[in-house]
Structure 1
Amino acid sequence: MLIVDARGLLCPEPVVRTQRAVKDGLSELTVLVDAEAAKENVTRFAASRGYAVSVKQEGADYTLSLSQA
């Protein structure tokens, strides 16, 4: 499973990096972000591409687990 580490990156970069992983045809991936806006934007993007998203917060970081629905 691929891990996209987008912590410390400003939008739209977390979405762009997630989009690249999705284009590679991955059915499961994990995205790490550290901003509420990035969490919301990546979640919205993933849902629009048919992925189910599970979010876990650990301190200031969010772990988004994406899987093909």
Structure 2
Amino acid sequence: MVRIDTCGMSCPQPVLMTKKALDKNPEGAEIVVDNNTAKINVKRYLEKFKYSVEISEEGELYILSARK
């Protein structure tokens, strides 16, 4: 599974990076975000395309695990 680090980026960049990664790896990905807005937007994007999403926290980071 591919891991995408979007820390320090504001929307829509995390969503665009997620889309690009899933185009190459449609089975899933781990997306690392560092703000609540990116977490919500990436989660919404993933759910729109029928990915199951689990969110965990590592310090001040959010890890979104997406799987088909």
SS at match of 2:7: coil
SS at match of 2:66: strand
Question: 1:6-47: CA deviations, max 9, x gaps?
Answer: 011011000000011122242121000000000000000000
Q: TM-score, normalised by structure 1?
A: 0.92
Q: C-alpha root-mean-square deviation of aligned residues, in Å?
A: 0.9
Which consecutive residues of structure 2, in runs of 5 or more, have no partner in the other structure?
A: none
Q: Give the corresponding residue for 2:12.
A: 12
Moved over 4 A (4+): none
CA distance in 1, matches of 2:25, 2:66: 12
Fraction of identical pairs, as percent: 34
Residues matched between the structures, number: 68
Q: CA deviation at 1:59?
A: 1.9
Which consecutive residues of structure 1, in runs of 5 or more, have no partner in the other structure?
A: none
SS at match of 2:11: coil
